[in-house]
């Protein structure tokens, strides 16, 4: 059976009928507030950029046209890799209290970490 994700707090596996449409969402078992982990999107973005550059080069584009075609092909490649990685790897959830690897707030100065 396909894994549709599980709660990182209590470990209960989600059924296909429960897949949330709005994020953040709550776990039906323990009530913990969950959000999607977005690590696979970063991997898909890098793979999409590499694939669009390779495709543009293989088609014979050079100079400025290479960059224009690569940029135009990047978004469809990103969507393709998000779909493929989503088929291979199950969706991962994080609790709202778990920080991301990168700080999402933009600042000119380094903030002290607690």
| H/E element, 74 | helix 64-88
Closest CA to 47 of 74, 86, 87: 74
Least confident residue range of 8-17, 50-59, 92-101: 92-101
Cα separation, 44 vs 50, in Å, equals: 10
Position of tokens 């990103």? Answer: 78
Cα separation, 19 vs 22, in Å, equals: 9
pLDDT at 44 over 80: yes
76: tokens are 């469809």
pLDDT band per the 50, 70, 90 thresholds, residue 72: very high
Within 10 Å of residue 56's Cβ, how many Cβ atoms? 21
Q: What is the pTM of this model?
A: 0.61
Phi, psi of 64 (to 5 degrees): -65, -35
What length does the chain have? Answer: 114
Cα separation, 81 vs 56, in Å, equals: 17
């Amino acid at each position: 059976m396909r894994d549709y994700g599980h709660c990182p707090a209590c470990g209960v596996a989600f059924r296909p009928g429960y897949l949330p449409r709005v994020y953040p969402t709550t776990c039906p078992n323990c009530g913990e507030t969950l959000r999607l982990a977005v690590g696979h999107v970063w991997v898909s973005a890098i793979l999409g950029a590499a694939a669009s550059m390779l495709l543009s080069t293989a088609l014979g584009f050079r100079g400025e046209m290479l960059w224009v075609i690569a940029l135009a092909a990047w978004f469809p490649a990103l969507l393709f890799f998000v779909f493929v990685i989503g088929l291979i790897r199950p969706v991962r959830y994080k609790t709202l209290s778990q920080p991301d690897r990168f700080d999402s707030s933009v600042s000119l100065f380094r903030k002290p970490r607690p």
